[in-house]
Amino acid sequence: MQYEIKGDQLPVVVCTLEAGESMITERGAMSWMTSNMRMETQATGGFGKAFGRMFSGESMFQNKYTAEGGTGLIAFASSFPGEIRALQIAPGNNIVCQKSAFLAAEPGVELSIHFKKKLGAGFFGGEGFIMQKLSGQGLAFVEIDGSLVEYQLEPGQTMLLDTGYLAMMDESVQMDIEMVHGMKNIFLGGEGLFNTKVTGPGRVWIQTMPLSAVAGIIGARLPGHG
């Protein structure tokens, strides 16, 4: 499989498949394709894993697209201004990402549910306590809100992120929610009650324009919200 990511603020990944090669995606992610691409809807991994995907923000069912009779082309477009990133998933290199980040992948990649281990992260994480985990073997494409900044955290090294800015992290990274210190900071700082705390070792990817932040800005400017 060959691919090319095109576009700027609204990118699309165009995949070229040889005969017999396939891609899996969530419903509605396909943007265009050649007529020799055959689609098959399936509950990958059985009902239990399909049900778990529903809780992680994805559909219970996935579509599998296979090139038949020769080379095929299929494109998957981002649903929000940002970036599309290609991730090489392999045993020992699992990636945990925000809900609805998954765009498409080779069939060897498994999309499953990932619970944040700390209860505080569950109730105050802003995005819920369920994230997505990409495991298995193969190439996966994810969509990011805005641009992406990557950090490599050493063992025990921590960073604090405003809620919603965590896009992805290595499975080795620990995540928790930390309350903002000081009553003045809480009530006058304008940054909310909680921050997301990530602790290494591992890579952390931070997005610059979370959809939740954009929604808050738009909502504050609607009539009736002064």
CATH of the domain at 151: 3.60.160.10
Q: Is residue 58 part of a domain?
A: yes
Other CB atoms within 10 Å distance of the CB of residue 63: 19
Q: Which domain holds residue 67?
A: 2-220
- Asked whether residue 78 is domain-assigned, the answer is yes
The rounded percent of the chain whose pLDDT value lies above 90 is 56
| Chain centroid, CA 53 distance in Å | 12
In total, the chain counts a number of residues equal to 226
The one-letter amino acid code at 36 reads N
Structural tokens at position 214: 């954009």
Give pLDDT tens digits for 209-225: 887 666 555 655 667 65
Is the pLDDT assigned to residue 94 strictly greater than 90? yes
Asked, for residue 226, whether it belongs to a domain, the answer is: no
Residue spans of alpha helices (H) in the chain: 46-55, 119-124, 183-188, 211-220
pTM reported for the whole predicted model: 0.81
Instruction: State the pLDDT confidence band at 110, using cuts at 50, 70 and 90.
Output: very high
Residue 146 near residue 164, CB atoms below 8 Å: no
Burial of 129 (0-12, 13-18, 19+ CB in 10 A): middle
pLDDT at 177: 81
10 Å Cβ neighbour count for 44?
17
Strand partners, 209: none
User: How many domains, in total, are found in the chain?
Assistant: 1
State the Cα–Cα distance between residues 12 and 24, nearest whole angstrom: 16
- Whether 8 is covered by a domain: the verdict is yes
Residue 180 DSSP class: P
DSSP 53: H
* CB neighbour list of residue 7: distance below 8 Å, 6 or more residues apart: 78
Question: Tokens standing for 162?
Answer: 């405003």
